[in-house]
Amino acid sequence: MQTRTLSSRKDIVLVAHDNKKNELIEWAFYNRSTLSKHKLYATGTTGIMLEKALDQPVTKFLSGPLGGDQQVGAQIAEGKLDVMIFFLDPMEAQPHDPDIKALLRVAAIWNIPVACNRATADFILTSPLLNEEYLAILTDYSFYTNRKLKM
């Protein structure tokens, strides 16, 4: 069984679609005390807005449509991000929807907690596991790789 240890200080990435940026900033400001105990990452404009609102450094990736979603996905696959808070806009078509689906898929593969709305983000942030070391169990997907090699 493969596992990955998440330290008590989590690497949290915050992402929001344009129509959800203000909601994410408001949520992050309300939770700034909890978030200050962790290392924060964000895509593009969201990162600039968060840094200003929280008065805390935020490591910034490119804007989502310009490759930021893929950068976040790569960091998840490399084990460098522990939690993703992604305020999705379910009512607006996104031109980079395939990138978003790929990002969510990578997060599922690497078994990291993902919140796509405020309620789930609240549950994650108030979980005692957020501030503790956590052993994440990773699914063994080698069957898929081995199957393709045999074809």
Catalytic positions, written as ranges: 69
115 SS3 class: strand
Name the token pair of 100. 């978003």
Q: Are the CB atoms for 110 and 140 separated by under 8 Å?
A: no
Q: What is the distance between the alpha carbons of residues 125 and 89, in angstroms, rounded to a whole number?
A: 21
Closest to 7 (Cα-Cα) out of 133, 125, 138: 133
131 SS3 class: helix
Q: Are the CB atoms for 25 and 15 separated by under 8 Å?
A: no
User: Which DSSP string corresponds to 36-101?
Assistant: TTSEEEEEHHHHHHHHHHHTS-EEEE--GGGTHHHHHHHHHHTT---EEEEE--TTS--TTHHHHH
